[in-house]
Structure 1
């Protein structure tokens, strides 16, 4: 299984600088050691270069500073996020293995037959990170300038366009399927082990288009290697006000990326509560607020119960999307 473990220099320095930070990590009882007392593995279900990794890096740097231990990014791509999710579900429920969740977890739960009561299975929601729009991207050689041009081109060339995705069950895949369904078009979807490799092929002209998160696509957009035609959210994005919403042409279209953190079921509540508080606090850091705004991401905060309820609501939304796509 591919594995790319990343820890930032700032995270390492923060660990050294905060070696005496035990007061920040409350003891859970006279017989219990404070948490965390060693590095925490933060599993990312996709290859480096995607939005999940970028958001995780920002949050983990803050957590390393606040809690005095490194939060180590561990990329485990494959299976549309399922491989990493299963590995975390099977890990010891002690707070030292966490999962960066994305819309892929939500969609996989929405596709489950029969559906579970909350779609989380053997992981439990801990805290939110962000919600962000996707962009409809095309390679610079494709002779379309607007969303309407692209839709007309796709309809006039059935089966000839190739569209990238981060893997089956991901928000990129589901957005492409919903666009296909509502637009009455046909195209081929090419699955990758994350959005990073898909974007590379889009920029090099190996595929024609893809939906991807604003965080992942920003550098390629700035360099002019790809073009953005629209945003996936119901309304236009403040980060990209010049781009129309897909819903302006296909009124029923609406998708967005939804990112958070989960832990193995059975993780002690005091640890879950501590992580939730610290992640919520990290999201108020001015640097994170600024960097989230640059990519159109909106922080998600709230206690574990509120976040779990939002998680379940997302599953119900995506279940309708999955059912609509399955009919066509």
Structure 2
């Protein structure tokens, strides 16, 4: 069957116009089915709670279920690999946290490239760690602790959630910048390390606020400083490390990512809705309770944070000789 020339030209012109319209149509249709948010860590921790907070908000706003799936293991690498290899359609997202940036330098044979294979969606929160000591340590300020550590080189143990974790790397940066000699005692998770700090088996931890604030308030641990550049609303009387060690900063990050090549319009839609969530009073309050500072912003701004963190922690890992377990 032959088409008249006029009909053929009309059809061809219409077909050529479809790609220009498809991003808008795709954004309007998304999501048309449930979306998974992959968390590379166990349920119940701060990373999991933050992901569920974002998932609940998106579920309410977009009318489809945003379901958190925990895929713990290998310091979050199992979950990251799952998302890196998922279809780039916006239906598999990643809760992006600091270990992903650390792992990029810590592991030499990963089957993915975190910076290349995960597209940033939003920088949800900056996360703080707090330098906590057992009350038996004869130091009530960070300068006193530094002096005590220098007077007792190799005799003070610091705990962490494991080799290559943010707590480990934050303390190694502190050691690098102050010249103190602290002995690393790695644990299989942050909670066991805090338990042993209370029991005085280790003397200091650079602990997530969410894992230590109740013990601080109860007087079981003494907070000397927070690792962020500014003080925290939940610990307003605790100074920053940088107040005494100029230039020190070891904040973490939490946000959402997607597989590379995920349509820009889908990422922009998620970014818009998540920024609205971060402006919500209840969401902001919960993030603050977890020791975070609400951020927000564009995907490009989150990409810059990820790149800077990856470069920074690679230098610390190399200097300290940190090896993956």
TM-score, length-scaled by structure 1? 0.77
User: Residue in 1 aligned with 2:307?
Assistant: 312
**Contact 1:44/1:76 (<8 A) preserved:** yes
Separation in structure 2 between the aligned mates of residue 267 and residue 171 of structure 1, nearest angstrom: 28
Equivalent position to 1:167, from 158, 162, 167: 162
Separation in structure 2 between the aligned mates of residue 321 and residue 36 of structure 1, nearest angstrom: 41
**Contact 2:122/2:296 (<8 A) preserved:** yes
**Contact 2:26/2:266 (<8 A) preserved:** no
Asked whether 1:246 is paired with 2:241, we answer: yes
User: Residue in 2 aligned with 1:256?
Assistant: 251
Q: C-alpha displacement at 1:31, in angstroms? A: 8.7
- Identify if the C-alpha distance between structure 1 residues 66 and 326 changes in structure 2 by more than 3 Å, giving closer, same or farther: same
Q: Which moved more, 1:311-320 or 1:255-264?
A: 311-320
Give the structure with higher Rg (CA). 2
Output aligned runs, 1:136-215, within 5 Å: 136-215=131-210
Equivalent position to 1:273, from 256, 268, 271: 268
The CA deviation string for residues 187-237 of structure 1, in whole angstroms up to 9 with x for no partner, is 332334543443344345443321123233223323333221111123433
Asked whether 1:298 is paired with 2:254, we answer: no
Equivalent position to 1:103, from 98, 101, 106: 98
| Count of residues in correspondence between the two structures | 298
Q: CA RMSD in A?
A: 3.1
Separation in structure 1 between the aligned mates of residue 128 and residue 149 of structure 2, nearest angstrom: 22
The CA deviation string for residues 97-129 of structure 1, in whole angstroms up to 9 with x for no partner, is 221111222223355779xxx951322111111
The CA deviation string for residues 37-78 of structure 1, in whole angstroms up to 9 with x for no partner, is 443322222334543223223222212211223333333333
Separation in structure 2 between the aligned mates of residue 134 and residue 236 of structure 1, nearest angstrom: 11
Separation in structure 1 between the aligned mates of residue 254 and residue 26 of structure 2, nearest angstrom: 35
User: Residue in 2 aligned with 1:227?
Assistant: 222
SS of corresponding position for 1:69: coil
Separation in structure 1 between the aligned mates of residue 249 and residue 25 of structure 2, nearest angstrom: 50
- Identify if the C-alpha distance between structure 1 residues 233 and 185 changes in structure 2 by more than 3 Å, giving closer, same or farther: same
Question: 5+ unaligned residues in a row in structure 2: which ranges?
Answer: 1-21
User: Residue in 2 aligned with 1:282?
Assistant: 277
**Contact 2:123/2:301 (<8 A) preserved:** no
Separation in structure 2 between the aligned mates of residue 206 and residue 38 of structure 1, nearest angstrom: 50
Separation in structure 2 between the aligned mates of residue 193 and residue 37 of structure 1, nearest angstrom: 40
Q: C-alpha displacement at 1:79, in angstroms? A: 2.6
Q: C-alpha displacement at 1:276, in angstroms? A: 1.4
**Contact 2:46/2:290 (<8 A) preserved:** no
The CA deviation string for residues 160-198 of structure 1, in whole angstroms up to 9 with x for no partner, is 333222333332111111112223233332334543443
Asked whether 1:63 is paired with 2:58, we answer: yes
- Identify if the C-alpha distance between structure 1 residues 41 and 209 changes in structure 2 by more than 3 Å, giving closer, same or farther: farther
**Contact 2:172/2:316 (<8 A) preserved:** no
Separation in structure 1 between the aligned mates of residue 230 and residue 139 of structure 2, nearest angstrom: 22
Question: 5+ unaligned residues in a row in structure 1: which ranges?
Answer: 1-26
Which structure is higher in helix share? 2
- Identify if the C-alpha distance between structure 1 residues 283 and 86 changes in structure 2 by more than 3 Å, giving closer, same or farther: same
User: Residue in 1 aligned with 2:68?
Assistant: 73
